[in-house]
Structure 1
Amino acid sequence: MHPAPSLIVFTTLSGLGFGLMVWLGIDPPEKGGWVMAVFALLALALAGIGLLASLWHLGHPERAWRALSQWRSSWLSREGVAAIVTIGVFTLYSGIIVLQGQPAPLLGGLAALLALVTIGCTAMIYAQLRSVPRWHDPLTPLLFLLYGLAGGGLLAGKITASAWLLVALGIAQVAAWTRGDKALAQSGSTMETATGLGHLGKVRLLEAPHTGGNYLLKEMAFRVGRKHAAKLRMIALGLAVVFPAAAGLMTDPKHLLGGLMVIAHLTGVLTARWLFYAEAEHVVGLYYGKR
């Protein structure tokens, strides 16, 4: 799949934003007041920028509101509705703490739960797609949740908990890459099924279906070299998982090291998200002889 920058920004920043909302909902800063205001604004900004990036990806962003009406059948619509409700509840919850200095554990728990639901809906946009075997896997929603919770925890200063979540994330990410590399071959989709000519026997491509490029080839048949993918996986794993997890478990990070952990994690997540799209083989590519 074509790794569109808007989708990479969307899934990365919104995951961090809603992940931070989870931590703030269940364990707000003890100092409250302006500290909570700073954290809340950061969470809302990350989630908001991510959602705006998703609108940028649309051909007609002005029509995005129409997608909200399809929540009964569309995970994209459910994600939009869940995001709006979550932001509303979280803003109310944060306002109570900032303005009144009063804890609101029930409202905070609801905001945290809604934030998790929103991340889950984002993940299901991809996990539901049988046409992309690499994404159609139970590990996809698990990865989205772990990325959101681990990154949000780093931003919230929950270093120890985040470090263990990063360990789990690293294991899940390696497992997802391993399973994903075999997913297309194990899906049962072949050039014979793609062309509908399987009854004739083994099919091979003699000439391309057309002489020029098209939307499907641009968006659905993007290919990344194996050597480049292997290097990028190491970079993503090292920055997003290994460095911040090791620093969190082996040291007591201060502000400077904590900031470096967040920057490294964010850089690694952006790399992993690029791979998430670039390595995803859509079965339509089989029709064009691309595996």
Structure 2
Amino acid sequence: MHPAPSVIIFSTLSGAGFGLLAFLGLGLPVVTGWVAFGFYLIGFALAVGGLLSAVFHLQNPKNAWRSYSQWRSSWLSREMWAAIGALLAMGLYAFLQVFFATTIAPLGWLGAALSLATVFTTSMIYAQLKTVPRWNQLPVTPLMFLSCALAGGALLSANLAAAGVLLLTAGGVTVWYWVAGDGRFAEAGSTARTATGLGGAVSLWEKPHTGENYLTREMVFQIGRKHAVKLRAIALVLMVGLPLILILLPMSHVTAVIAVLSHLAGVLTQRWLFFAEAEHVVGLYYGAHGAKAAA
């Protein structure tokens, strides 16, 4: 799949933002006044900024509001409802803490649950797609999104002990996703024969057309295995390794900022790979995934 910058930025920033809001909603830490204002400013900026970046990926952004009516069948619609609910609940919770030094714990718990539900629904937009076998991995795809969001939230909320555990968890789940995903297309059993519905041995005689089109640009993007391995290593070092080292050192504002930026850079790399390595079955019509040898 073609890695669209807007969606990569969206899933990375909104995940970290909602992760931070979840920790704040759980009272980890309980903050009031200007300290609370600073925490919530970061959380809402990341969450809302990420959501807004996703709008640029839509063909007709002005019609985005129509998605709200499809909540019975669409994970995108459920994501939008969960996000609105999380932002409203956490907005009221933050308002009371910032201006009245008042903490209503059940409201925070509701906001935290909705924040994590937003991340989960985002992951399910991809995990439910059987046409992209690498994404269609349950429960590992949702776990990867959630563990990264929680690890980022722990770093941003200065819950360092939790951050250490969650960073290792996010790294382990990411490796699980990569290893299991490498064989998912073959396991799914999709071949040129199943794609065309023809019997016997099926091979590609000629591609559907000579030039590029939307499908070849968006769905048949491929990355070399050598480059993928290097990027996986970079993602793990930035997302997990460097932040872990930094939180074990005497903490300061500088090391905290570097740890957060490193983690976000690692998640951005991970999400680029999430899209670049995804193989859509439509590629079988264009000679991808060994279509010529399918029998």
Query: Is TM-score (shorter-chain normalized) higher than 0.5?
Result: yes
Matched, 1:251 2:249: yes
| Residue in structure 2 matched with residue 219 of structure 1 by the alignment | 218
CA contact (8 A) 1:164 1:245 kept: no
Helix, strand or coil: the match of 1:86? helix
Indicate conservation of the 8 Å contact 2:2/2:276, yes or no: yes
Aligned to 1:191: 192
1:227-281 deviation per Cα after TM superposition (whole angstroms, max 9, x unaligned): 1111100000100011112333x33422211111111101111111100000000
Contact 2:23-2:29 at 8 Å conserved across structures: no
Question: What is the identity, as a one-letter code, of the residue corresponding to 1:14?
Answer: S
Amino acid of the structure 2 residue aligned with 1:57: H
SS at match of 1:57: coil
How far did 1:37 drift? 0.8
Residue 289 in structure 1 maps to residue 287 in structure 2: yes
Superposed CA offset, 1:185-224 (max 9, x none): 1101011111222x1x222212111112111111111001
Percentage of matched positions with identical amino acids: 53
SS state of the match for residue 135, structure 1?
coil
Q: 2:32 aligned with 1:38, yes or no?
A: no
- Distance, in Å, in 1 between the alignment partners of 2:110 and 2:284 is 45
Aligned to 2:183, the other structure's residue is in SS state helix
The one-letter code of the counterpart of 2:116 is: L
Give the distance between the partners of 2:214 and 2:241, measured in 1 at CA: 38
Corresponding residue for 1:181?
Answer: 182
Q: CA deviation at 1:57?
A: 0.5
Displacement after TM superposition at 1:159 (Å): 1.2
CA contact (8 A) 2:89 2:111 kept: yes
Structure 2: segments with no counterpart, 5+ residues: 290-295
CA distance in 1, matches of 2:236, 2:101: 40
CA contact (8 A) 1:28 1:36 kept: no
Mapped partners of 2:102, 2:28: distance in 1? 11
Going from structure 1 to structure 2, the CA distance change for 1:31 and 1:208 (only over 3 Å counts) comes to: closer
One-letter amino acid of the structure 2 residue matched with residue 51 of structure 1: L
Residues 163, 246 of structure 1: 8 Å contact kept: no
SS in 1 for 2:56: helix
Structure 2 partner of 1:202: 201
Aligned partner of 1:105 in structure 2 is 105
Distance 2:211 2:197 in 1: 23
Tell me the distance in 2 between the aligned counterparts of 1:29 and 1:275.
33
Q: Tell me how far apart the structure 2 counterparts of residues 207 and 252 of structure 1 sit (CA, whole Å).
A: 62
1:57 matches 2:60: no
Distance 1:54 1:258 in 2: 28
Alignment-derived partner of residue 239 in structure 1: 238
RMSD of aligned Cα (Å): 1.1
1:268 is matched with which residue? Answer: 266
Give the deviation of 1:290 after TM superposition. Answer: 0.4
1:60-105 Cα offsets, whole Å, 9 max, x none, are: 1011000011001100000001101110110000001111101211
Measure how far apart 1:31 and its partner are: 4.9
Name the count of aligned residue pairs: 288
What is the TM-score with the length of structure 1 in the denominator? Answer: 0.97
Letter in 2 for 1:258: A
Tell me by how many angstroms 1:30 deviates.
Answer: 4.3
TM-score, scaled to structure 2? 0.95
- Give a deviation string over 1:27-81, Cα, whole Å, max 9, x none: 2544521111111111111111111111111011011000011001100000001
Distance 2:175 2:124 in 1: 20
CA distance, structure 1, for counterparts of residue 267 and residue 81 of structure 2: 25
Q: Distance in 1 between matches of 2:226 and 2:157?
A: 36
8 Å contact 2:28–2:159 — kept in the other structure? no
CA distance in structure 1 between the partners assigned to 2:145 and 2:182 by the alignment: 19
